Structure 1
Amino acid sequence: MHSTLFYGVPSGCSFGSIVALEWLGEPYRLCRIEMPEVVTSDAYRRINPIGETPTLMDADGRFISESLAILNHLGARGIGAGLGFAQGTRDFDRLNQMLAYLNTSFFGAFAPLWYALEHGAQGDEHAALTRYGAAEVRNVHAELEAMLGNRPWLLGERRTLADAYFIGIARWTRYHAVLQREDYPNLQRLYEQLEADPAVRFAHAIEQQRPAESSGGFQGHVTLDEVLASR
């Protein structure tokens, strides 16, 4: 049995895990989970009791949730390709540190903006959430801009799973127009480089239900009902 990634739409952070699976090149399937309707359903909670995406079902039928855990799982399988590193090495620590920053500070900066958008905040509440979220998003962009510097990828000369996770979150500035990405030229360069990557283009097409050409090991979609019926 192949691994199956349960990914959230629209525009879930699971986007980065799709990119990572494409880069890894091993056979995998996808299961589309609509948010918020399906992701909070009793059916999906049989897969992930927290009711969040992404979730990965590995080839043995075991479930792994949380982006950081999934990417570390994939990274262990992608050491030969340079996507991950052996635990205990300096490179592993650097990758884990970057993933942790992206998963907490970078991701979390958008939380007030998503709350305002998804919960219909109005008036003073909307203004306060927007001000706070905008300041946080600008702050983490400045921090990451300095961390990246002139390096071609987040960790240096080679792309890693940190870059895959980054692009899935960085695109959220399309929904929340609180900064000009051009004001952060290092991040803009990385963003454009990733947007041109075949795996990223594939992930966009998958989310938007357009014809998608895999350069990895994509084996097609499976429905949530099919997964549950097989267990």
Structure 2
Amino acid sequence: MNEPVLYYTPGTCALSELICLEWIGEPYRLCRVARDERASEAFLALNPHGSVPVMRFGDRVMAENLALLLRLADTNPSAKLAPPAGSPERDELHFWLSYIGSRFHVAFYPVFKASRYSDREDLAEHLKQQALLQVGKELAFLNERFTGRQHAVGDSRTVVDAYFSATGRWGRRFFDYPAVSPEFDRYLKGLEADPGVARALKIEAGEIEGPDGALLGHVALA
């Protein structure tokens, strides 16, 4: 089995890689990993941190979202998911990847798992509300930066758009996007209309198991 395998959990940032694999269009396989399975011996052998995404490329296993997104872009140049190295556009891509990973993505950690920061149940709601204040600030920033833009970098899709497709939706259950961040909301809705994004969402939801198109099917964790 030489095709890349993406280990993912629905609802996580691993959707980024799934979208990119659909955009690339080369054969790949998936392994759906339940949240509790990420603490299993089989999964920890792949990634001791117990997090997704993880990808297997032949005998090589890689983890961490940014590393995987850049590898997928750089090893599949015909998909044009990243500008040339050294260009101003590539600098902008690096900015956005760093921003999502260090500010937007992590702002949600206390919202979804306050226990990471405190084992006191009485503080959980406080931590969540404080985190949502920060998410709100990021949505205001994104609203300004995405005014009139269809893509994060230049005029075509990149791995940044895949990353925002995965993480940008997380705030919808807490915020009225059209009211608090209408430009970012418009940008996200435009991405959702992309055939590759729409298909990746169906795969994540279990509506497509494969083999179907580039997706050859799912494999077992163990």
Taking structure 2 as the reference length, the TM-score comes to 0.90
Letter in 2 for 1:28: Y
Could you say if the C-alpha distance between residues 67 and 105 of structure 1 is closer, same or farther in structure 2, counting changes exceeding 3 Å? same
**Residue 76 of structure 1 contacts residue 85 of structure 1 at CA under 8 Å; is this kept in 2?**
no
* In structure 2, C-alpha distance between the alignment counterparts of 1:39 and 1:113, rounded to whole Å: 20
Match of 1:181 in 2: 177
Letter in 1 for 2:49: I
**Secondary structure in 2 matching 1:38:** helix
**Residue 209 of structure 2 contacts residue 217 of structure 2 at CA under 8 Å; is this kept in 1?**
no
Alignment of 1:133-144 (within 5 A): 133-144=131-142
Report which stretch shifted further, 117-126 or 20-29: 117-126
Are 2:87 and 1:89 aligned? yes
* In structure 2, C-alpha distance between the alignment counterparts of 1:16 and 1:200, rounded to whole Å: 9
Match of 2:127 in 1: 129
Match of 2:99 in 1: 101
Q: Once superposed, what is the RMSD of the aligned Cα atoms? A: 2.3
Match of 2:154 in 1: 156
Taking structure 1 as the reference length, the TM-score comes to 0.87
Could you say if the C-alpha distance between residues 123 and 38 of structure 1 is closer, same or farther in structure 2, counting changes exceeding 3 Å? closer
Match of 2:56 in 1: 57
* In structure 1, C-alpha distance between the alignment counterparts of 2:157 and 2:108, rounded to whole Å: 24
CA shift, 1:214, in A, is: 8.6
Letter in 2 for 1:161: V
Match of 1:218 among 215, 218, 221: 215
Could you say if the C-alpha distance between residues 63 and 111 of structure 1 is closer, same or farther in structure 2, counting changes exceeding 3 Å? same
Match of 1:68 in 2: 66
Aligned residues: 220
**Secondary structure in 2 matching 1:80:** helix
Match of 2:198 among 198, 201, 213: 201
CA displacement, residues 200-224 of structure 1 (integer Å, 9 cap, x when unaligned):
2222222221236898621111111
Q: Percent identity?
A: 32
* In structure 2, C-alpha distance between the alignment counterparts of 1:149 and 1:79, rounded to whole Å: 29
CA shift, 1:44, in A, is: 0.5
Letter in 2 for 1:201: A
Letter in 1 for 2:48: P
Structure 2: any 5+ residue segments left out of the alignment?
none
* In structure 2, C-alpha distance between the alignment counterparts of 1:149 and 1:201, rounded to whole Å: 23
**Residue 76 of structure 1 contacts residue 86 of structure 1 at CA under 8 Å; is this kept in 2?**
no
Could you say if the C-alpha distance between residues 117 and 153 of structure 1 is closer, same or farther in structure 2, counting changes exceeding 3 Å? farther
Letter in 1 for 2:50: G
**Secondary structure in 2 matching 1:34:** coil
* In structure 2, C-alpha distance between the alignment counterparts of 1:215 and 1:118, rounded to whole Å: 38
* In structure 2, C-alpha distance between the alignment counterparts of 1:100 and 1:214, rounded to whole Å: 34
CA shift, 1:141, in A, is: 1.0
CA displacement, residues 117-155 of structure 1 (integer Å, 9 cap, x when unaligned):
999988741331122111111111111222222121111
Alignment of 1:36-51 (within 5 A): 37-51=36-50
**Residue 4 of structure 1 contacts residue 31 of structure 1 at CA under 8 Å; is this kept in 2?**
yes
Match of 1:15 in 2: 15
Match of 2:143 in 1: 145
* In structure 2, C-alpha distance between the alignment counterparts of 1:52 and 1:18, rounded to whole Å: 16
**Secondary structure in 2 matching 1:189:** helix
CA displacement, residues 37-84 of structure 1 (integer Å, 9 cap, x when unaligned):
1111111111111111000111x3211100000000011023333211
